[in-house]
Amino acid sequence: MFSKTALAKLIDHTLLRPDATEEDIIRLCEEARECHFACLMVFPSWLQVARRHLRDSDTKLGAVVAYPFGALPPACKVFETRQCISLGAAEIDVVVNIGALRSGNLDLVKREIQDVVTQAKISGLTEDGEEVMIKIIVETGMTTREEQEKVVRIAEECRADFIKTCSGCGPRGATVEDVRFLRQVAGREMGIKAAGGIRTYEHAVALINAGANRIGTSSGVAILRGYEQSQHPLPEEAMTQRPSA
């Protein structure tokens, strides 16, 4: 069993709604600061706002690239990555070219992953003195196990840091089976990020137990609240008692 703080450090606090406002982003930053989440994930256009409001926080700043469909040429993904890093992103979640992968064009998939990782490496260290982290989104709801394994092998060869299950915009979110399979293929060296549809403490724990060492969710605060309730459950009579009229 892990502590609340340890659980928070496995969570990427995420807001990737296209209708999110600056007020929403500021509130997200305040939650991240208070809860000490591992990373805050936003669209590139919100990086400057988030960077200001995360200043002196132990939560890292991250952004998505080629989100949510991955259907950009490698050069565009490299440009987005470079821009995000220049705006303060320490972690980048990039969607693999799903169409190319499903077409068997592994050369293109490898080139884009290699180019993005290389851009991250040559961009230098983050403000915390660490290398920029690259997570490759394989969209498990749209790809086969064979295709997912191929992406893992390419990501390992290119020295990406994580494989991520889903963008959250695909046909389904992360499952225990997804995480267990990716962990089996990747071994212990590569990170596995589970994302998509993770809203409860119980779901998050099941994914962590299956091998995920990062959880991407917009429900981070609720998950921590679920942790607290699991440690201090209400008495049975309180759970069954009806409120007075």
- Looking at the annotation, which residues are catalytic? 93, 164, 193
- Whether a cis peptide bond, with omega within 30° of 0, leads into 68 is yes
Residue 71 CB: number of other CB atoms within 10 A?
Answer: 12
C-alpha angle 80-82-84 in degrees, rounded to nearest 5: 70
**Do residues 35 and 221 lie in contact, with contact meaning Cβ atoms separated by under 8 Å?**
yes
Two tokens at 121? 């490496």
C-alpha angle 224-196-234 in degrees, rounded to nearest 5: 30
Burial of 48 (0-12, 13-18, 19+ CB in 10 A): exposed
Q: How far apart are CA 54 and CA 52, in angstroms?
A: 6
Q: How far apart are CA 229 and CA 174, in angstroms?
A: 24
